[in-house]
Chains A and B, each alone.
Chain A
């Protein structure tokens, strides 16, 4: 099992460009998450999908959109990238998520730089 995979691993964008970060999990998990990690800060939740067919905003959703393509895949889209979106992006999944009683499994991250 590969666990949680993310593509690409690195990306450099110019301000205003768009891109989609891909995430897939092979653990048959119901819930999936997108976080960003900035220096000196913990992970901040961008969006999450409690189950296939649902998505909800997290702590910092502005400037992002998500799609839960199927149970395995959860993508994050930047429509018009800004330098403030320079960060490391992590995708995670969990068996469930209600009340946070399930551990989250993380992908290796995508390091994004917006010039």
Chain B
């Protein structure tokens, strides 16, 4: 069973709008990461947030983590057409096994 589950499964917005994706997980984690995948390509790492952190920023990306609710959100501000991709959360509970969710497909209309 998947540790992380993203919501929504798909999201369509206009260029310039903000996009918010959520991730819920089932067991306690060491950290949570977000990755982006453009169509037909490999995954690219976006940001890592540790279990003792609540918020992290990287350029137009803002990630929050609520360990009490076992959830995380990824906010992309001022979306661009180039942000069109699938976004995955990935959780690690220790060791080398990172569990990926099924992803949110984001489509940004120009």
Chain A residues with a Cβ under 8 A of chain B: 4, 31, 33, 35, 40-45, 48, 50, 56, 58-59, 90, 92, 97-101, 103-109
Q: Which segment, of B42-50, B64-72, B77-85, faces chain A?
A: B42-50
In the bound complex, do residue B30 and residue A100 qualify as a contact, i.e. CB atoms below 8 Å apart?
Answer: yes
Closest residue to B9 on the A side, CB-wise?
Answer: A40
In the bound complex, do residue B101 and residue A100 qualify as a contact, i.e. CB atoms below 8 Å apart?
Answer: no
Main DSSP-derived SS at the A contact region: mixed
- Measured in the bound complex, the distance between the Cα atoms of B9 and A59 in whole Å is 23
Please tell me which one of the listed residues A42, A44, A56, A107 contacts residue B88 in the complex, with CB atoms under 8 A apart: A42
- List the 6 closest A-B pairs by CB distance, nearest first: A100-B92, A106-B42, A42-B100, A103-B45, A97-B96, A43-B100
Q: A42-B2, A42-B88 are in contact. Are A101 and B30 (CB under 8 A)?
A: yes
- Measured in the bound complex, the distance between the Cα atoms of B41 and A106 in whole Å is 9
Closest residue to A103 on the B side, CB-wise?
Answer: B45
Q: Does B59 contact A (CB under 8 A)?
A: no
- Measured in the bound complex, the distance between the Cα atoms of B48 and A69 in whole Å is 30
- A residues in contact with B90, CB < 8 Å: 42, 100
- B residues in contact with A4, CB < 8 Å: 42
- Measured in the bound complex, the distance between the Cα atoms of B98 and A43 in whole Å is 9
- Measured in the bound complex, the distance between the Cα atoms of B88 and A13 in whole Å is 29
Q: A59-B97, A101-B31, A104-B98 are in contact. Are A43 and B43 (CB under 8 A)?
A: yes
Taking each of B4, B30, B40, B96, which has the highest tally of chain A beta carbons within 10 Å of its own beta carbon?
B96
Closest residue to A111 on the B side, CB-wise?
Answer: B40
